[in-house]
Structures are given as C-alpha cells and as structure tokens.
A = this chain, B = another copy of it.
Amino acid sequence: MDEFELIDQIFHRPEESTPQVALGIGDDGAVLNVTVGKQSVVVMDTLVAGVHFLDSQPPDSIGHRALAVNLSDIAAMGSVPRWATLSLTLPEVNGDWLNGFADGFFDLAHRHEVALVGGDTTAGPLAVSVTVGGEVEPEGALRRAGARPGDFVYLSGPIGGAAAALSSTEAYGDPDLKRALCWPQPRTALGMALGSIAHSAIDISDGLLADLGHILKASGNLGAKIEADKLPLFEQAVALLGYPGALELALGGGDDYELCFTAPEKRHQEILATGHRLDQDLFWIGRITEHGGCSVHGNGISLDTVSPGYQHVWPG
C-alpha cells in the first residue's frame, strides 16, 4: 500500500455517507444536498504545529481540536453543522499518528453528525486546516453585531483553563486543565438553541476581553460591565496561579472555545431553562452598557479597559 492509499483508507470511512452527501471523498469535489429554505454557514480555521498545538500532544487530541475550533465557530453562528473538509499538511506519513488523528476527528464528527466530505493531503510542516459548513433558518444566524445596552452577558463554561495548562508543566499535568486545552467541547446544541433568544454571540478563542470586545465594536461601540466574582474560573488554575493569575488568563488567555453571548434581561429565565434542558452550564457575568470600553469589577479588582480589546498588561 502506498502513502496515498493509506491516507485514503484512514479517512474514507463508509459511515461518512449521510443523506446530505450526494458525493463524498474521492472525486475533485464533494456534492451536497441542500435543505430547502435554509441559509448555509461556512467557517474555516487552521492549526499550525508549535503555534496552536504542541508537537508532543496526542494525535487524537489534535484531530479533535482541529474540528472542535471550527464547530465552535459554527455554534457561535447558531448553526447546525453538516459537513467538513480537511486539509492535512504532513512532514511524513506515519500510520499510527494518522490513525490517532482520524480517531479524534471522527469521534467528534460523529457526535455532532458532521460528515467529512473531502479535502487534501500535502507534504510540508505539520498543519491542519478545516472548513465546516452548516445550515441556519433564514436570518436566523447569530452574529457579533446585535448586542444592546442592558443585555445580560453569559458564558457557557469556565474560562482560562487552556491558557493555564500552557503556563507550566505542573498545570499541564492537571487533568481538568489539560482537558480544557486539548479537548475543547464545541457548544453546538447551545448555539442552535440560542438562535431565537440571544442578541449576539461569539466563541472565546482570543480571550474574553478581546472577543467580547468584538461584540461591543460590531454592535456600535457599546460597553460592558463584567462582575469579576461571577466569572467562572478553573479551581485548579486558582490553586496553581493564585486568583489574580487565574483571572488574567480567564480575561486574556484564549483558546477557551466557550460561547459568550448577550440576551435581553427579560429572557433570563428562558436562558437558564435552556441550559438546564441541554445539561449545559451557563454563567451570568455582567451587562452591556451604552458607552465604549469594558470594565471588570469585584473581588477587590478594578480593571478598566480603554479600548474594547485585550489589554495584555495586568495592572498592579
């Protein structure tokens, strides 16, 4: 068996044929059936070895993560994921590594009913590029723009764990922090449910302040008042780094892949009920304000950011 056949065999799995896939892997392109009356959503993200993942990371976690970060974008759009294409750039063809990568990729794909329909394998420095397509009701996509003054701000889970895992060997050794880094769980069910409730949404990839900043900017240079004591942190991050250190990573660390969304105050109970129904933790963390900038207060902390982006230097 040559390299192409090996790669073909590993990624061309029979179960990839769903009713939506008219023609899957193996031709110049895939052909997909479109659901009548829907809009389509497309997202694309690339992970590069040494930048977005560690060379030493288990290959199944790399396969998982490459798809997860894209499904997280799909979730932030309030979309139902349908298909994926995968471009793998490999320094060498290693069957064990590829099988591990594929296991991680397909386990997540199957859980989210996403069919791998095509892609590309090339020689070069290790990198993974994934495109995911989904569907939404017309005008039903969740956008960054749409937050309004008075909106409540929510998070779908604790943040700062992935960044904490990268901060030391000891932290990486903690199962919960390592899981946050290597096995992020895209919140697709929550995203779909929020389509008709939330005003705006984004997934946290660059850190809460930066990503909430994108919502504030896209929504017309609004502000936000975040309650520090409401921010969900990883206990282990606080234990290892202290509260200020864990808070800094929660605000600016990134790689969390939790959803940050805003919704009108009057829908608060409905949102809590949605989280309960989906068995999905939800955290109220603050409010949208009329004026620019994002501030974080409480627990003896007072952090005012002038611009709605990530302020890297922690004051005091």
Q: Which of A27, A36, A41, A133 has the most CB of B within 10 A?
A: A27
**CB-based contact B131/A85 at 8 Å:** yes
Copies in the complex: 2
Give Cα distance in the complex from A127 to B203, angstroms.
Answer: 25
**CB-based contact A43/B31 at 8 Å:** no
Shortest Cβ distance from A271 into chain B, in angstroms?
Answer: 20
Shortest Cβ distance from A93 into chain B, in angstroms?
Answer: 14
Which residues of A60-87 have CB atoms within 8 Å of chain B's CB atoms? Answer: 73-74, 76-77, 79, 83, 85-87
Which residues of A115-141 have CB atoms within 8 Å of chain B's CB atoms? Answer: 117-120, 122-125, 127, 129, 131, 133-134, 136, 141
**CB-based contact A48/B89 at 8 Å:** yes
Residue of B30, B43, B50, B83 near A118 (CB, 8 A) is B43
A22 within 8 A of B: yes
A10 within 8 A of B: no
Cβ proximity bits A9-33 to B, threshold 8 Å, 1 near / 0 not: 0000000000000110011111111
A34 within 8 A of B: yes
Which residues of A36-69 have CB atoms within 8 Å of chain B's CB atoms? Answer: 36, 38-52
A144 within 8 A of B: yes
Majority SS at the chain A contact face: strand
**CB-based contact B46/A133 at 8 Å:** no
Task: Please list the residues of chain A having a beta carbon within 8 angstroms of any beta carbon in chain B.
Answer: 22-23, 26-34, 36, 38-52, 73-74, 76-77, 79, 83, 85-87, 89, 117-120, 122-125, 127, 129, 131, 133-134, 136, 141, 143-145, 201-203, 218
Q: A36-B36, A42-B85, A52-B122 are in contact. List 10 more A-B contacts (CB 8 A).
A: A22-B39, A29-B134, A30-B43, A44-B85, A44-B119, A44-B131, A127-B127, A129-B129, A131-B131, A133-B133
